[in-house]
Copies of this chain bind each other. A is one copy, B any other.
């Protein structure tokens, strides 16, 4: 894939530290989305694609998988929130 390497600097989190699993999950969702935007930066095209894939079970499961992989990274970064929520 040819990717736009200047992917959303403004949107990008400055840290992987999250205050709770819920915040970590939100961050995983953002990273998943930023991965898509890196390959297709045209927001209009992304909006046009949305209704179809958001109603397609396999696309939803695949999206959930990308979130799961990023959540794995973020959970590790936060030491699984098991020692007071930060590393």
A positions within 8 Å CB-CB of B: 1-3, 5-7, 9, 12-17, 20-22, 25-26, 29-36, 38-40, 45-47, 49-50, 52-73, 75-77, 80-83, 86-87
A17 CB to closest chain B CB (Å) equals: 7
Contacts of A73 in B (CB 8 A): 68, 71-72, 75, 80
Q: Are A32 and B3 in contact (CB under 8 A)?
A: yes
Tell me what chain A mostly uses at the interface: helix, strand, loop, or mixed: helix
Contacts of A14 in B (CB 8 A): 20-22
Q: Are B59 and A38 in contact (CB under 8 A)?
A: no
Q: Are A7 and B20 in contact (CB under 8 A)?
A: no
Contacts of A58 in B (CB 8 A): 53, 58-59, 62
